[in-house]
Each structure stands twice: as C-alpha cells, then as structure tokens.
Amino acid sequence: MKNGRIAVPSNGQGGLNGTRAGHFGHCDVFTFVDVEDGEIKKVSILQNQEHAQGGCMVPVNLLSENRVNALIVGGIGMRPLMGFRQVGIDVYHDDQRPEIEPVVKDLIAGKLAEISNDQVCGGGGGQV
C-alpha cells in the first residue's frame, strides 16, 4: 500500500504500539494509520460507536465517513465484510499477531492477504 488510511480495531487507547481487538465491532477504538509514499505519516485514534445487535453497518459507515481505505481484522462476520467491500474498503486478515505495528508494516509492504469469504466468523454449521 503506497497511499491511504489503514484502520485497525484496537484495545484500550489504541495507537501503533497497541494491540488489535479480536472482534472489530466490539473494539474500544480504531487506530488510524495514514500512509504516504509507503511511509507512515500520521497515527490517530477514533472512538468506536456503541455496538448493537444487527448494527453491523454502524462501523462500516463510521470508517467510510472517515475515509478509510483498508481495514485489518482478526475476525469479522459476513455482513460487515460485504458492507466494507461495498463501500470500497479492503479488508485484510491476521489473527496470529495482536500487535498493531508489525501487521500494519506488513500491509504497507504488500505482505498481508485480504480476507476471503471462507475466513469469516460464523457460518451456521449447516444447522439451518
């Protein structure tokens, strides 16, 4: 990624030295990393909104309004994933490293994969 804004759902106060929240919808804050010419130029924090059952589009709209281009998650449901794709936010996946900085640097370096449809949370297990 050469230019753009990366968002990472984060625990506590967030920040580049913080840790990624396991469930993006329930995170405390979003850490924003602005990238210019492949370099980190600015880090900022956005308070997450209250989470409501079925309110998956609240964070989608929140990040879209704040001009986010890419999101890094450890897990995400199918509906918010589709929502992010439909508003033009690319969703990347890393559920192994909770530290924000190395994962962000991997994304900038083109070493992080986009999440695939079969990596989403849930799935029903064929019950319905």
Residues that bind another protein (CB under 8 A): 15-16, 30, 32, 40, 42-47, 49-50, 52-58, 60-62, 65-66, 76-80, 82-83, 85-86, 120-125, 127-128
Q: Which is nearer to another protein, 76 or 112 (CB)?
A: 76
**Residue 106 or 121 with smaller CB distance to another protein:** 121
Which 8-state DSSP code applies to residue 22?
A: S
3-class DSSP assignment, residue 20: strand
* In the complex, minimum distance from the CB of residue 69 to another protein, in angstroms, rounded to a whole number: 14
Smallest separation, CB 49 to another protein (Å): 5
User: Distance between CA 68 and CA 66 in Å, rounded?
Assistant: 6
**What token pair was written down for 65?**
């309004």
Cα–Cα dist 48/12, whole Å: 11
Facing residues of 73 across strands?
Answer: 93
In whole angstroms, the minimum distance from the beta carbon of 112 to another protein comes to 20
State in angstroms the smallest separation of the CB of 111 from another protein: 21
State which amino acid sits at residue 36: E
